[in-house]
């Protein structure tokens, strides 16, 4: 059985059940494990962690903290910091780790300069609840990231992609690596790079109920690579 690709609606439903009365998870727990997954995919030392204002950005902040713990050199860029309490706490935790954050209103020149001394970009800008179009300030940020020619690792769905239709409009980031969380989204079917799955917290009963057909994670790993064979072709 092939792994299931989720519609935006199904992804939302799974998220709600995990954090609702049935699943009983707090968002703190799920973000911690999701961000830890993302941090486990990195290979290069200097990581620019680009965070959106929502939960996806929160995953990025958790990843930045674990990256620092693992000995990497993350720098955080939040063009529009989130307003939720958890987002602020996650950023404070990064501050405590002496992780550098660019100012939200960093100039294009500052951003270019930072990009030039970056080995890889972690794209945690938009997640599965993204609905276009790409608005300011991200309409300038996404092209800048794309034009940097640096390797990009995207979290869950590449930023700017339609969650179900992929990069149809061509305005999205085209990453080298994708870390799908919980289960891959429909829009990721057309993704051609290395594809990992993270978010090792889905109960078997839930996996079966939603027929997710998740691959087996190895040992204590928080990520598993999806082979090409596991990605079914669209008719």
Query: Exactly one of 16, 43, 45, 70 binds its own copies (CB under 8 A); which one?
Result: 70
Q: Choose among 112, 186, 98, 97: nearest CA to 147.
A: 112
85 is in an annotated binding site: no
Tell whether residue 26 is a contact of its own copies (CB under 8 A). yes
Please give the residues from 35 up to 54 whose contact with its own copies meets the rule CB under 8 A. 39-40
Give the separation between CA 60 and CA 78, rounded to whole angstroms.
Answer: 10
Please select the residue that binds its own copies; options are 83, 96, 211, 233, rule is CB under 8 A. 96
131 is in an annotated binding site: yes
What own/partner pairs with CB < 8 Å and gap ≥ 24 does 14-22 have? 14/182, 14/183, 14/202, 14/206, 14/210, 15/182, 17/206, 18/182, 18/201, 18/202, 18/206
Closest CA to 53 of 141, 119, 116: 141
220 binds its own copies (CB under 8 A): yes
Rg (CA), the chain: 17
Residue 71 CB, shortest distance to its own copies, in Å, is 8
Q: Which stretch binds its own copies (CB under 8 A): 17-25, 121-129, 152-160, 184-192?
A: 17-25
Q: Does 214 bind its own copies (CB under 8 A)?
A: no
Is position 204 an interface residue for its own copies (rule: CB under 8 A)? yes
When binding is defined by CB under 8 A, the residue of 8, 11, 32, 177 that contacts its own copies is: 32
CB of 137 to its own copies, least distance (A): 26
Total chain residues near its own copies (CB under 8 A): 33
Among 155, 72, 56, 154, which residue's Cα sits nearest to residue 118?
Answer: 72
109 Cβ partners below 8 Å, 6+ apart?
A: none
Asked if residue 203 belongs to a known ligand binding site, the reply is: no
Taking alpha carbons only, the member of 194, 212, 193, 195 closest to residue 203 is 212
Using the minimum distance from each CB to its own copies, give the nearer residue, 7 or 40.
40
Cβ atoms of 99 and 65 within 8 Å: the answer is: yes
Query: Is residue 213 a contact residue for its own copies (CB under 8 A)?
Result: no
69 contacts its own copies (rule: CB under 8 A): yes
Binds its own copies (CB under 8 A): choice among 83, 135, 211, 219: 219
Tell the residue number behind the tokens 């620092």, with chain if given: 68
Q: Which residues bind its own copies (CB under 8 A)?
A: 22-26, 28-29, 32-33, 39-40, 66, 69-70, 86, 88-90, 92-93, 96-98, 200-201, 203-206, 217, 219-220, 222
């Amino acid at each position: 059985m092939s792994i299931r690709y989720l519609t935006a609606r199904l992804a939302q439903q799974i998220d709600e059940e995990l954090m609702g009365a049935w699943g009983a998870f707090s968002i703190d727990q799920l973000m911690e494990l999701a961000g830890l997954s993302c941090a486990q995919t990195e290979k290069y030392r200097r990581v620019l962690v680009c965070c959106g204002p929502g939960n996806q950005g929160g995953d990025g902040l958790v990843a930045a903290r674990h990256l620092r713990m693992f000995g990497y050199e993350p720098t955080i860029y939040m063009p529009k910091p989130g307003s939720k309490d958890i987002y602020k706490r996650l950023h404070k935790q990064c501050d405590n780790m002496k992780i550098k954050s660019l100012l939200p209103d960093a100039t294009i020149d500052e951003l270019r300069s930072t990009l030039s001394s970056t080995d890889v970009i972690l794209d945690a800008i938009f997640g599965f609840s993204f609905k276009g179009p790409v608005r300011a300030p991200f309409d300038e940020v996404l092209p800048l990231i794309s034009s940097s020619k640096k390797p990009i690792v995207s979290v869950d769905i590449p930023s700017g992609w339609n969650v179900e239709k992929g990069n149809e409009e061509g305005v999205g980031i085209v990453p080298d690596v994708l870390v799908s969380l919980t289960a891959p989204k429909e829009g990721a079917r057309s993704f051609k790079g290395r594809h990992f799955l993270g978010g090792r917290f889905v109960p078997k009963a839930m996996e079966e109920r939603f027929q997710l057909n998740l691959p087996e994670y190895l040992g204590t790993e928080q990520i598993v690579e999806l082979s090409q064979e596991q990605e079914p072709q669209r008719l």
